Amino acid sequence: MTALLDVKNLRTHFHTTSGVYRAVDGVDLTVHAGRTLCVVGESGSGKSVTALSVMGLIDAPGQVQPGSEIVFDGRDLLRLPERQLRSIRGRDITMIFQEPMTSLDPVYTVGYQIAEAVRAHNDVDRKGATERAIELMRLVGIPSPERRIHDYPHQMSGGMRQRVMIAAALSCDPKLLIADEPTTALDVTIQAQILELMKDLRDRLGTAILMITHDLGVVAEMADDVAVMYAGKVVETGSVTDVFNRPQHPYTEALLQSVPVLGMSKEHPLRVIQGMVPSPLNWPTGCRFAPRCTEAFDRCREELPPLFTVDDQRSACWLCETGARGSAGVEEIYR
């Protein structure tokens, strides 16, 4: 497996008047070519900021800290000049967002907005770009695209708008598609349709996907690999089967058991993670999960654990320093 995207020690901080928000504070993750990595974590754990950092869309007061690396296709994006970055952004790496209702410009037709993505990276005239836009709309399952290219966003439903977003994102055959909670804002039935569409397109086009979600059901549905984020860091990574069957980090374990559908059985009743996510203004010292962890001991509260390799997984828990930890996973994965 070749790494398409390799993020190493990514730290993105926001310098505000109320202090420094260390929203992303040492994230390591890898997306392999043609595979889907799901990033899961509670809200506020830094998932969106990680994605925007990869896209190079972090604005002041946010700043990617020196020492971070975002290696895409062998090149460190953080060392590229803006011009070259822009030619990668929207062509090789594209992104779709959580809110299809507000993510499209209300004063332009959807056809124009798809064609705009085509024209940003291809030397085509307006007519050629429009034809490509129709083709893309057909690809993402929008009925009668010749007519609907003239629609404005407000004339479409949330699901249709998200299809438009996907169409624009696929316009230049990207190597990597980043999807930041693309179904969270949609109705359940529409969610399923969009996930189905994304799976179908991935299989047909071979695009690698970095999918952000806080929904473990979506992970079960989509992921090849998983990265679990907590408090600005990745605490566990591995293949979806490994992570679901043998979670190595107590946070992952707790997360799996807090979802009714996935973790419930007589031996493992539904569990709630006690306490609250800490603030990025003031992360706890030591392991950031320690204050909420039922297995924490003295060292956890003093020293930040690195990612230990456990078989094919990696886990940032002191209990994994000397190998696999006995843990309760989820036997049945709903796929």
Partner 1 sequence: MMGYVTRRLLIAVPTLVGVAVVSFLLMRLIPGDPARVLAGPDATAADVELIRRQFGFDKPVLNQFLDYMGRLATGDLGRSARTGDSVLAEILARLPYTVMLAVLATLLAVLVGCTLGVIAAVRREGLADLVLSGLSVFGVSMPVYWVGLLLVILFSVNLGWLPAAGAESWQGYILPTVTLSFFTIGFISRQMRSAMVETMEMDFIRTVRAKGVARWAVVLRHAVRNAALPVVTVIGLQFGQLLGGAVITETIFAWPGIGRLLVESIGARDFTTVQGAILIFAVALILVNLLTDIVYAYIDPRIRYD
Ligand X SMILES: Nc1ncnc2c1ncn2[C@@H]1O[C@H](COP(=O)(O)OP(=O)(O)O)[C@@H](O)[C@H]1O
Q: Does 122 help bind partner 1 (rule: CB under 8 A)?
A: no
- Rounded to the nearest 5 degrees, what angle is found at the Cα of 247, between the Cα atoms of 12 and 241? 100
Nearest distance from C-beta of residue 240 to ligand X, angstroms: 19
Residue 9 binds which entry of partner 1, Mg ion, ligand X, none, with Cβ cut-offs from 5 to 8 Å by kind?
none
Nearest distance from C-beta of residue 112 to ligand X, angstroms: 29
Choosing from 27, 35, 41, 219, the residue that interacts with ligand X (CB under 6 A) is: 41
Separation of alpha carbons 117 and 235, rounded Å: 35
- In the region spanning residues 248 to 307, those forming contacts with ligand X, defined by CB under 6 A, are 280
What character string, x for contact with partner 1 (CB under 8 A) and - otherwise, covers 66-105? --------------------xxxxxx--xx-x-x--xxxx
Q: Does 191 help bind Mg ion (rule: CB under 5 A)?
A: no
- For 26, 57, 212, 239, the CA distances from 45, given in Å and listed in that order, are 12, 18, 11, 21
Residue 326 binds which entry of Mg ion, partner 1, ligand X, none, with Cβ cut-offs from 5 to 8 Å by kind?
none
- For 51, 82, 109, 177, the CA distances from 85, given in Å and listed in that order, are 15, 5, 27, 16
Of the candidate spans 13-21, 112-120, 222-230, 233-241, the one that interacts with partner 1 by CB under 8 A turns out to be 112-120
Q: Which residue has the tokens 């609907």?
A: 148
Residue 308 binds which entry of partner 1, ligand X, Mg ion, none, with Cβ cut-offs from 5 to 8 Å by kind?
none
Residue 283 binds which entry of Mg ion, partner 1, ligand X, none, with Cβ cut-offs from 5 to 8 Å by kind?
none
Residue 103 binds which entry of partner 1, Mg ion, ligand X, none, with Cβ cut-offs from 5 to 8 Å by kind?
partner 1
Phi and psi (nearest 5°) for 225? -125, 160
Q: Which residue has the tokens 């946010």?
A: 62
Nearest distance from C-beta of residue 111 to partner 1, angstroms: 13
Tokens of 211: 């999918």
Residue 94 binds which entry of partner 1, Mg ion, ligand X, none, with Cβ cut-offs from 5 to 8 Å by kind?
partner 1
Tokens of 164: 């438009």
What character string, x for contact with partner 1 (CB under 8 A) and - otherwise, covers 29-58? --------------------------x-x-
Residues 256 and 330: beta-carbon distance below 8 Å: yes
Q: Does 23 help bind ligand X (rule: CB under 6 A)?
A: yes
Q: Which residue has the tokens 């953080």?
A: 78
Cβ-closest position to Mg ion = 48
Residue whose CB is less far from partner 1, 140 or 226: 140
Q: Does 48 help bind Mg ion (rule: CB under 5 A)?
A: yes
Phi and psi (nearest 5°) for 100? -65, -20
Choosing from 31, 165, 208, 209, the residue that interacts with partner 1 (CB under 8 A) is: 165
Residue whose CB is less far from partner 1, 97 or 251: 97
Q: Does 16 help bind partner 1 (rule: CB under 8 A)?
A: no
Instruction: Return the closest-CA partner of residue 159 out of 180, 176, 141.
Output: 141
Residue whose CB is less far from partner 1, 91 or 199: 91
Footprint on this chain of Mg ion (rule: CB under 5 A): 48
Footprint on this chain of partner 1 (rule: CB under 8 A): 55, 57, 86-91, 94-95, 97, 99, 102-108, 116-117, 120-121, 152, 154-155, 165, 168
Footprint on this chain of ligand X (rule: CB under 6 A): 14, 16, 21, 23, 41, 43-49, 62, 280
